[in-house]
Amino acid sequence: MKTLLHLTSSIFGDGGQSSRLAAEFVAAQPGAKVIARDLARNPVPHLDAERFGAFLSKPEGRSPAQQRVLEESDALVAELKASDTIVLGLPMYNFGVPSQLKAWFDHVARAGVTFKYTDKGSVGLLTGKQAYVFAARGGLYAGTPKDTQTSYVREFLAFLGITAVKFVYAEGLAISEASKTQSLAAARNALRALVQPETIAA
């Protein structure tokens, strides 16, 4: 059975446009086991030196507080490892990814666990997974240098070994009602085109 990690990062929860698209994609995967994680509703704390220190701590010298941090991170990593498919709702806020998503990134990037350093550079350890990203934006950025999100998210996932990543964009949502309607319809078409081969392959 296919396992999907469904990540929501809109501050508007299920009502966010990125959330709705991601949820529609997940709903179109019959029979899949879904691990749902809403990063806005249940935020991962921001990484600080204390928390990062817990990642580096040796079991024998680990404090109870460090152990708790490690367990939180381990739980997030376990969800990723257990999934064949990652479905991410990705809003743009102030030209970047939601800080809640960045905090999650900071807790799943773990040396020796999700990536490792070698003589030839870093190697991602989470291979063989497919990711789908549903990006919602007020303005228009896709395919231009202003789209910092796509390269950043792609690069981060690749760092962990997740190189098969497909993006669907709903853009221009704040430009006008007509632009919003048209963009959401185009995003749904792109979504359906992604679902079709998946369903056939399953």
Ligand X SMILES: Cc1cc2nc3c(=O)[nH]c(=O)nc-3n(C[C@H](O)[C@H](O)[C@H](O)COP(=O)(O)O)c2cc1C
Q: Does 92 bind ligand X (CB under 6 A)?
A: yes
Q: Which stretch binds ligand X (CB under 6 A): 7-15, 54-62, 123-131, 158-166?
A: 7-15
Asked if 173 contacts 93 with a C-beta cutoff of 8 angstroms, the reply is no
Q: Does 144 bind ligand X (CB under 6 A)?
A: no
Cα–Cα distance, 13 to 91 (Å, whole number) = 11
Q: Does 149 bind ligand X (CB under 6 A)?
A: no
Q: Does 143 bind ligand X (CB under 6 A)?
A: no
Among 173, 184, 187, 191, binds ligand X (CB under 6 A): 173
Specify the residue, 88 or 165, whose C-beta has the smaller distance to ligand X: 88
Half-sphere exposure of 182 (CA within 13 A, CB side): 7
Cα–Cα distance, 23 to 138 (Å, whole number) = 20
Asked if 99 contacts 46 with a C-beta cutoff of 8 angstroms, the reply is yes
What's the longest Cα–Cα distance across the chain?
61
Cα–Cα distance, 16 to 21 (Å, whole number) = 9
Q: Does 93 bind ligand X (CB under 6 A)?
A: yes
Site for ligand X in 16-35 (CB under 6 A): 16-19
Specify the residue, 115 or 169, whose C-beta has the smaller distance to ligand X: 169
**The two three-digit tokens of residue 172, written as one number:** 């221009």
Cα–Cα distance, 8 to 97 (Å, whole number) = 12
Specify the residue, 17 or 114, whose C-beta has the smaller distance to ligand X: 17
Among 4, 5, 7, 10, binds ligand X (CB under 6 A): 10
Specify the residue, 102 or 137, whose C-beta has the smaller distance to ligand X: 137
Specify the residue, 76 or 92, whose C-beta has the smaller distance to ligand X: 92
Q: Minimum distance from CB of 9 to ligand X (Å)?
A: 8
Q: Does 139 bind ligand X (CB under 6 A)?
A: yes
3-state secondary structure 35-100: EEEECCCCCCCCCCHHHHHHHHCCHHHCCHHHHHHHHHHHHHHHHHHHCCEEEEEEECECCECCHH
Cα–Cα distance, 54 to 64 (Å, whole number) = 10
Among 137, 157, 184, 191, binds ligand X (CB under 6 A): 137
Q: Does 124 bind ligand X (CB under 6 A)?
A: no
User: What are the residues binding ligand X (CB under 6 A)?
Assistant: 10-12, 16-19, 89, 91-95, 136-139, 173-174
